[in-house]
Structure 1
Amino acid sequence: MAREKPQDVDMPVSQGETESLQEVDLGSRWSSESLPSSPAPTSHPGSNLTRFGSSESLVAQTDKYQRNLYASPSTTSLHSHLSCASLTPTLHKPDKSYKTPIRHYLTFCGLFFTIFLSGLDQTVTSTILTRIANDFKALNHVEWVPTIFMLCSTCLNIISGRIADIFGRYSVLLFSLVMFVAGAAVSAAAESIVVFIAARGLSGLACGGMLNLSIIVISDLVSIQSRGKYLGALQICFGVSNAVGPLVGGLFTDRISWRAAFIADMAMGVVALVYLALVLRLSRPAKREAWIESLQRLDYIGTSVIIASISLTIVGLNVGGTILLWSSPVTIGCLAAGAILLGVFVIVELKLPQVPLVPMWLFTVRNLVIAFSVTFLCGMTMFSIIFYMPVYFSAVFGANAMRAGLLVLPFGMALSVSSFASGYFMSKPGMYRQLLRLGPAIMAVGILAMAALSGKTSEGVYAALLAVPGIGMGNVIVSNIIAAQATTDKRHIATVTPLCEFFLSIGGVIGVAVFGAVHRNQLSDTLAQVSVSESLAAQAIIDEARRDVSVAYAAHVSESLRIKIADAYASSIQQALWLMFPCLVLAFALSLVLDTNPQTRPEEIALEHTDSDN
């Protein structure tokens, strides 16, 4: 059946259509091939209705018009090259009942609670790793706990959007929650460090899916002008949960057991799973033959290569300077192989797959490259603060797990408030550019102030200063997603959104590894100098304090030795802070060259690539 041509500008609009047109995406554009018989619409912020054939037209992606325009899958070369967010003709649209106020609020409450669980599980181990390592007698392997979590979460970030396009947002989100419950259950019951690390890897996969799918669903349901407010509220949930994660872990560990923290995670995961299963209403899943065909078109080679590249790089960064020397053939081999495989991945994506995992043309769009780069550099700092500042407070001020979590709380709270405020201001045209520039600048000021302080500064001053980089990160974490989505067509949301989270996560993984290596090497050198002039008994205490700083605050340790150990920890972590500063300066410099008036649309760039290939 032939597709009807859209009517003229003055066509009547029914009440039902008018209601659906309120949920427009003002940043989306149809490609010229989607409407072969009608003029390409143009976008003007502030309008509410779709007008075809007019210089003042806006593209509104409504249920009715999308059904007309995508009644059958396109067979053009452009569509096959650009099918980043639509491998099948099935559209991921909400049930109409979601637009009722009750359904609307119930849906978003469930998504926000899912985000809260993801952020909580991400940092719950940061204050209890030493206790876990002591129980398993595996102090040399404890660093793999956060590493494997972030590694699995990062690997899933890059493919979650593609999987969601095939099986539907609803199915993938609920399956992620099932994995979350399973990972928490195995973590709570683990009897060895190997089982515990594997369970944290499963939890990392789950949290990566929960975070990305929640953001994608929100982006599907909300217009781009309103999206900043919702993403700001989402980041409040994520920031608060990131901040209270160390506190919750420390509280359970000090009062009950570290296993109780994961039992609580499991219980909350079950609640979220049942709630979303009952409340969330999205599009029907694709037909069996449709998703089987889509599975056959997945980029398995590219996925395998990028996962191997990330894994080898992280292994090299973690064993270097700790288990093995940086000059060790194994360390060098892992890092070199990771870099080589990254190059192989680029070649694979350019040449082999019909539907690439990461379309390389995305990296020819200036604003996308800048958004990804700023996110990566700021992510290095954010996760390093979350994981190493509790160590600083424990070593320098003798804080227990719960108190160390409390002292890091200002960072997460400031991030939450800032992200919500950023989302509110994001509705103003072009505001995301200013926020993306302001964020790294504020973070750099805060990190510089913290690095310049001495170990004798009170813990309250440090805790208060943590709010400064938190404010900056709140600006970045919302504006980078809006910057990426505003630059691309709505069909690509499921590709660019996970990429934003991917670069945030991979920045965190590399930041924790790199700054952690700086911290460990500096600490080892300083403690080695201290132990030279100490007795054999003191040397034994110093060796044990390398792995568990709480040893320095035992009753039998002298005050002078305790101060030396605390100073060694303070200087090593401050050295890492000094290295964070140039990363943030670079992020700020990159944000200054954001294109404020892009002349070339991403789909036009993609068409050029397709034509050159043909």
Structure 2
Amino acid sequence: MASMFLSSLDQSIISTAMPTIVGELDGVEHQGWLITIYILAVAVVMPMYGKAGDSWGRRWPFLIAVALFTLASAGAGFAGSFAELVIWRGIQGLGGGGLMILSQAIVADIVPARERGKYMGPMGALFGVAAVAGPLLGGWFTDAHDWRWAFWVNIPVGLLALAVAWVTLKLPSHRSDKRIDVLGAVLMTLGTSGLIVVATWESMVGSYDLGDTRLTGLVLGTVVTWGVFVAVELRAEDPILPMRLFRNSVFTLATAIGLVIGMGMFAALGFLPTFLQMATGVGVTQSGFLMIPMMVGMMATAIASGIAITKTGRYKIYAIAGMGIATATLVWMTTITADISMLQYSAMIFVLGAGLGLVMQTVVLAVQNAVDPREIGTATSANNFFREIGAALGTALFSSIFTSRLVAGLDDVFAGAPQTGGEAAPSSLTPQVVQALPAPLKDGVVAAYADALAPAFWYLVPLLALGFVLAFFVREIALSDVAGMVARGEAVTEAQAVAGTTAEPEAVGDVPAAGVPAGHDRDLEPVAASGPAEDG
């Protein structure tokens, strides 16, 4: 939980501190790279960590990920230049991608799917907490202390996680005699890099100019790279992203739902604080506090649904309900106006959080329960990978729509206004400047923000509606009573150890192998598996 929180937190913690950071380090022109490099690194390594954990065991990849992330946090905090900070942020992402994936896969290794909901629920809630707490903490550190604490805060938590994992994480390691899919890894890195850069092109370059040969070349190169990647993976002995997973309808549908969740959730989170600052005049930190209702809603439903899934064994209904609630709430959010009350605003984002909390970890559980136990890490990482891609694409799409509408609206507001000084130009508005404007002009600016934000949500509604429809077609498979390590033959239950029996390593799907009795198997004893054990 600590490691997953760190990884999720660092996707958003610098968003509110960004103006101060780039101003101090002279990086205003390239500030987009601070977020892009982290998202890119996380997305690229997710499938690699998942595959490494399936092939060689998860203990050492997890320890390496924690160490990388903690070291990079220290380096970022002490960075003396913008270039140094970008490099350390990239290294942070290389560790952060492993933390998010391996924490979920380790739970799947040691907890049966039948009981996994009560563990995955809090993890899903923690993801939502991090998404809201990131901007809040980043703003507080910047206002009250130093922006460098946004990175230094990770060090004690990272060291604690590393120490606890080193002592207690006794998972078996083993050697794989299959050839490493180097070409697949290289192509995935290139393809993901191209996709992320295209998605964030506007924030880094300025605009999507179809006549720009650089952009055209990048798009074509990205499409070709992904085509070659698919061809390579179909032929690889041990592919980093097996194409056969997409023949599993549960995996495909759940992954598609994860993609649209990423697109909708991060787009909404990214622009609501900006609207609040402009409309109400609250500061950076205070606007973060106003996102707390969303966090509360997500925590409540994620934990409650996890407990309910453990008791009943039914999970499909929560994915359907969650997507339905999130879709309806986005429709509701298209009614946001400049004079919206904070009570109504809080109700909106609380319900949105509640919907997302019902579905986020439920789709991960569905994926893990539907695939071969020997590919739990690969399947989990693929599901999260597509959610990260969705977040990048959704934020880019929403940003383009919102910004274009906002610029047009502000131009109209200032067109007939008297000269008020350069500080009140549309291109240089800040919350403080807006609050100091004459009343008619201030009302016009706030209305322009509301008129740009509310209709933009309509572009996200069809995406979430598609996820709602897809949730009905997810096949509900009975949750297994056998943990992943037992199903793979890497561990036996306490009862089996006493009886002198072992698990058969021939289980296919997250179902009991022959000779493995159903029941609770949380107390596991590791056994040698698919090669000489190195530890555990």
2:195 maps to a residue whose letter is T
Who is 2:366 aligned against? 483
**Does 2:178 align with 1:178?**
no
Is the aligned partner of 1:586 residue 2:466? yes
Deviations 1:269-318 (A, max 9, x none): 222222322232222x33xxx45x55xx1212122212212211221222
Report the secondary structure of 1:426's partner residue: helix
Distance 2:88 2:438 in 1: 40
Which letter does structure 2 place at the counterpart of 1:577? F
1:532-571 equivalences under 5 Å are 532-534=415-417, 538=421, 541-545=424-428, 549-550=430-431, 552-553=433-434, 555=436, 557-571=437-451
1:340 CA displacement:
2.5
What residue identity is the alignment partner of 1:426?
A: I
Q: 2:198 aligns with which of 298, 316, 325?
A: 316
1:317-374 CA-partner distances (Å, limit 9, x unpaired): 22248623332232233223222322222111113x1111111111112221110001
2:376 pairs with 1:454: no
Q: Is the Cα contact below 8 Å between 2:196 and 2:389 reproduced in 1?
A: no
In structure 2, the residue matched to 1:439 is 322
- Is structure 2 residue 218 aligned with structure 1 residue 334? yes
User: Any residues of structure 2 matched to 1:201-216 within 5 Å, and which?
Assistant: 201-216=90-105
* Residue 336 to residue 392, structure 1, CA distance change in 2 (3 Å): farther
Among 203, 208, 227, the residue aligned to 1:343: 227
Pair 491,325 (structure 1): closer, same or farther in 2 beyond 3 Å: closer
- The alignment's TM-score, normalised by the length of structure 1, stands at 0.73
* Cα pair 1:231 1:423 within 8 Å, conserved: yes
DSSP 3-state at the match of 1:258? coil
Q: Distance in 2 between matches of 1:280 and 1:595?
A: 33
Q: For residue 37 of structure 2, what is the aligned residue in structure 1?
A: 148
CA displacement, residues 148-188 of structure 1 (integer Å, 9 cap, x when unaligned):
22121111112111122344312111111111112211221
Matched residue, 1:387: 270
Which residue of 2 is the match for residue 4 of structure 1? Answer: none
CA shift, 1:379, in A, is: 1.2
- Please point out which of 364, 376, 382 is paired with 1:493: 376
Q: Which amino acid aligns with 2:190?
A: A
Alignment correspondent of 1:376: 259
Counterpart CA distance in 2 for 1:215 and 1:525 is 44
Provide the rounded CA distance (Å) in 1 between the counterparts of 2:28 and 2:417: 24
Shift of 1:232: 0.9
Residue ranges of structure 2 left out of the alignment (5+ in a row):
479-506, 510-536
Task: Tell me how far apart the structure 2 counterparts of residues 118 and 329 of structure 1 sit (CA, whole Å).
Answer: 35
Which of 8, 15, 19 is matched with 1:130 structurally? 19
Rg bigger for which structure? Answer: 1
1:500 & 1:339 partners in 2: Cα distance? Answer: 21
- Given the superposition, is the C-alpha separation of residues 167 and 244 from structure 1 closer, same or farther in structure 2, using an over 3 Å criterion? same
Whole-angstrom CA distance in 1 between matches of 2:468 and 2:411: 38
User: 2:253 aligned with 1:363, yes or no?
Assistant: no
Aligned to 2:527: none
Confirm or deny that 1:256 pairs with 2:145: yes
Q: Which runs of 5+ in 1 are unaligned?
A: 1-111, 605-614
* Alpha carbons 1:542, 1:565 under 8 Å: kept: no
Q: 1:554 to 1:455 in 2, by over 3 A?
A: closer
Contact 1:383 1:508 in 2 (8 A): yes
The amino acid that maps onto 2:206 is I
TM-score for both structures, normalised by structure 2: 0.83
* Distance of aligned partners of 1:520 and 1:139 in 2 relative to their CA distance in 1, 3 Å threshold: farther
Matched to 2:220, the amino acid is A
For the aligned residue pairs, the C-alpha RMSD in angstroms reads 2.4
1:58 counterpart residue number: none
Structure 2 vs 1, CA of residues 264 and 342 (structure 1 numbering), >3 Å: closer, same or farther?
same
Instruction: Give the Cα separation in 2 of the matches to 1:257 and 1:348.
Output: 47
**Cα deviation 1:438-485 (Å, max 9, x = unaligned):** 111110111111121212102342133111111111111121012112
Within 2, Cα distance between the matches of 1:396 and 1:130? 20
Partner of 2:180: helix, strand, or coil?
coil
Q: Is 1:274 matched up with 2:178?
A: no
Structure-2 separation of matches of 1:521 and 1:330: 22
Instruction: Supply the distance in 2 between the matched residues of 1:265 and 1:189 (Cα, whole angstroms).
Output: 13
Partners in 2 of 1:142 and 1:458 — Cα distance? Answer: 33
Kept in 2, the 8 Å contact 1:422–1:475? The answer is yes
Please tell me whether the aligned partners of residues 200 and 392 of structure 2 are also in contact (alpha carbons under 8 angstroms): no
C-alpha distance in structure 2 between counterparts of 1:254 and 1:392, whole Å:
20
| C-alpha separation in 2, matches of 1:534 and 1:196 | 42
| Residues 151 and 509, structure 1, Cα contact 8 Å, conserved in 2 | no
The AA in structure 1 aligned to 2:132 is A
1:320–1:126 Cα change, 3 Å: closer
Measure, in 1, the Cα distance between the counterparts of 2:415 and 2:346: 34
CA–CA distance in structure 2, aligned partners of residues 545 and 561 of structure 1: 15
Aligned to 1:576: 456
Secondary structure of the structure 1 residue equivalent to 2:337: coil
Q: 1:246 aligns to what?
A: 135
Q: Aligned letter for 1:333?
A: G
The alpha-carbon deviation at position 522 of structure 1 amounts to 2.1
CA contact (8 A) 2:336 2:450 kept: no
Asked if structure 1 preserves the Cα contact closer than 8 Å seen for 2:74 and 2:152, the reply is: yes
Task: Supply the AA of the counterpart residue of 1:451.
Answer: T
- Counterpart-to-counterpart distance in 2, 1:168 and 1:258: 37
- 1:306 paired residue number: 188
Q: Distance in 2 between matches of 1:517 and 1:144?
A: 17
- Indicate which of 199, 221, 225 corresponds to 2:88: 199
1:212-258 Cα distance to aligned partner (Å, 9 max, x none): 11111111010110011111122233322332222211111111121
In 2: Cα distance, 1:452 partner to 1:273 partner: 47
- The alpha carbon displacement at 1:530 in A equals 3.3
Q: Distance in 2 between matches of 1:129 and 1:464?
A: 29
Q: Deviations over 1:421-449 (max 9, x none)?
A: 12112235662211111111110111111
Please say if residues 118 and 310 of structure 2, whose CA atoms lie closer than 8 Å, have aligned partners that are also in contact: yes
Alignment pair present for 1:139 and 2:22: no
Alpha-carbon distance between aligned partners in 2 of 1:458 and 1:526, rounded to the nearest angstrom:
22
Cα displacement (A) at 1:382: 1.4
Q: Which has the higher contact order (CA 8 A, sep 6+)?
A: 2
Asked whether the 8 Å contact 1:374–1:587 carries over to 2, the reply is yes
- Please report how far the alpha carbon of residue 406 of structure 1 lies from its aligned counterpart in structure 2 after TM superposition: 0.6
Q: After superposition, what is the alpha-carbon deviation per residue over 1:14-45, rounded to whole angstroms, capped at 9, x for unaligned?
A: xxxxxxxxxxxxxxxxxxxxxxxxxxxxxxxx
Is 1:415 the counterpart of 2:415? The answer is no
Q: Secondary structure at the match of 2:338?
A: coil
Percent identical:
28
Counterpart in the other structure of 1:530: 413
- Give the whole-Å Cα distance in 2 for the aligned partners of 1:160 and 1:324: 34
* Change in CA separation of 1:267 and 1:410 when aligned onto 2, cut-off 3 Å: same
Q: Which amino acid aligns with 1:588?
A: F
**1:545/1:551 contact within 8 Å kept:** no
Q: Secondary structure at the match of 1:480?
A: helix
Other structure's SS at 1:357 match: coil
**Equivalence map 1:21-36=2 (5 Å):** none
In 1, are the aligned partners of 2:190 and 2:225 still within 8 Å (CA)? yes
For residues 145 and 126 of structure 2, the distance between their equivalents in structure 1, rounded to whole angstroms, comes to 26
The residue that corresponds to 2:391 in the other structure is 508
Count of aligned residue pairs for this structure pair = 479
Q: 1:398 to 1:144 in 2, by over 3 A?
A: farther
